[in-house]
């Protein structure tokens, strides 16, 4: 049995939002929505789980802070505690103010870069990646909602035509 999906195209984000709400109310499963720009509140309307990337970033920041502290404690206090311009190098805390700029920058560096890399990996983005948009117009001025087709496909098509769609297509999935 082949899998079918329905591609519903809209040309306005307000109509799209209403359509998403109607679709959810009618218990059709939305596979994906393609938009040319971020639509405010779309994730909530679709019922997507909130992102946890901020939590990841916070933890990465702590890693960066630990790296900075460990590195400077080893280099400046443990390995070769030299007297440089009279700065006290007997313990980490005594010379800490001088280390704070590095601690701060390392925290920001780790938090920012590891978060971005996490984002790329979780959204499967990398160079030479094959683009996945089902309709080139979705990068310009059209909005596309992809819904899994089940049961009476003709009835579903007429349902989506009533949601303000400019185009409804039934697609036979390749795989």
Query: Where do contacts with other proteins occur on this chain (CB under 8 A)?
Result: 54, 58, 86, 97-98, 100
Minimum distance from residue 65 beta carbon to other proteins (Å): 12
Q: What's the rounded Cα separation, in Å, for the pair 56 and 1?
A: 41
- The pair of structure tokens assigned to 9 is 């195209």
Nearer CB in complex with other proteins: 107/163 = 107
State the minimum distance, in angstroms, from the CB of residue 6 to other proteins. Answer: 32
Considering the complex, what minimum distance in angstroms separates the CB of residue 128 from other proteins? 36
CB nearer to other proteins: give 58 or 74: 58
Smallest distance, other proteins to C-beta of residue 106, A: 16
In the complex with other proteins, which residue's Cβ is closer, 83 or 130? 83
Shorter beta-carbon distance to other proteins: residue 33 or 103: 103
| Smallest distance from other proteins to CB 155, Å | 37
* Three-state secondary structure of the chain: CCCEEEEEEECCHHHHHHHHHHHHHCCCCEEEEECCCCCCCHHHHHCCCCCCHHHHHHHHHHHHHHHHHHHHHHHHHHHCCCCCCCCCCCCCHHHHHHHHHHHHHHHHHHHHHHHHHHHHHHCCCCCCCCCCCCCHHHHCCCEEEEEECCCCHHHHHHHHHCCCCCEEEEEECCC
**Closer CB to other proteins, residue 38 or residue 86?**
86
């Amino acid at each position: 049995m082949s899998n079918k999906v329905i591609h519903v195209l809209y040309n306005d984000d307000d109509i799209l939002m209403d359509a998403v709400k109607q679709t959810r109310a009618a218990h059709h499963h939305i596979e994906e929505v393609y938009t040319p720009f971020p639509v405010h509140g779309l994730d909530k309307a679709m019922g997507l789980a909130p992102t946890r990337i901020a939590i990841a970033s916070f933890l990465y920041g702590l890693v960066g802070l630990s790296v900075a502290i460990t590195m400077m404690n080893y280099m400046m206090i443990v390995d070769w505690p030299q007297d440089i311009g009279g700065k006290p190098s007997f313990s980490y805390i005594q010379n800490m103010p001088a280390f704070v700029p590095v601690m701060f920058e390392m925290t920001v560096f780790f938090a920012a870069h590891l978060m971005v890399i996490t984002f790329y990996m979780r959204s499967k983005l990398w160079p030479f990646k094959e683009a996945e948009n089902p309709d080139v117009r979705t990068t310009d001025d059209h909005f596309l909602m992809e819904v899994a087709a089940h049961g009476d496909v003709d009835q579903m098509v007429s349902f989506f035509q009533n949601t303000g769609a400019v185009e409804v297509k039934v697609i036979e999935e390749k795989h």
